[in-house]
Amino acid sequence: MDKAAVAAAIEQLDGVVSADVGAYNTGTPGSFGARVEITVDQDGYAALGEVVDGAVRAVAADPGQYSTYDFEVTAPDEAEPDDLIVLTLSRYRGVIPFDQGTYVGSTLSLTAAELAEVAAG
């Protein structure tokens, strides 16, 4: 995975302010996950489903050899627009246009097979 290229592709999505793609050890020897952190503006927040879908597709275009792919989104706080809050993506299932994945805390986590399914759909 070319992390910089994937982050740049995500940053091209409408409403995305920045994106960071990294990796982490899952705790299982030899198993690594990709972590995608996205910051959106008000437009990106309004189009959250499209942003998450576009980010998943950008990662799927160059997935590398990770066992899991975690997506996290931050957006402006409505009460304090200069501050950011981490969105709990499970609360936005109705706008995310696919059913694959597991919601853990604020994160949407996809296996490699689920990532491929979303990209194919």
Mean pLDDT of 45-69: 95
Tens digits of residue pLDDT in 35-51: 999 999 999 999 999 99
Q: Above pLDDT 90, what percent of the chain?
A: 83
Residue 16's nearest CA partner among 46, 50, 61, 51 is 51
What are the strands, taking DSSP E only, across the chain? 16-25, 32-40, 68-76, 84-86, 102-104, 107-111
Indicate the number of domains in the chain.
1
23 is in which domain, residue-wise? 3-120
Q: How confident is the model at residue 2 (pLDDT cuts 50, 70, 90)?
A: confident
Q: Which token pair is 67?
A: 């066992």
The CATH number that applies at residue 91 is 3.30.300
Q: How confident is the model at residue 79 (pLDDT cuts 50, 70, 90)?
A: confident
Residue 100, phi then psi, degrees to nearest 5: -65, 155
Mean pLDDT of 79-91: 90
Give the model's pLDDT for residue 32: 92
Residue with tokens 């299932």: 93
The full length of the chain comes to 121
Q: Which token pair is 47?
A: 């189009």
Tens digits of residue pLDDT in 8-37: 999 999 999 999 999 998 888 888 999 999
Residue 48's nearest CA partner among 98, 101, 92 is 92
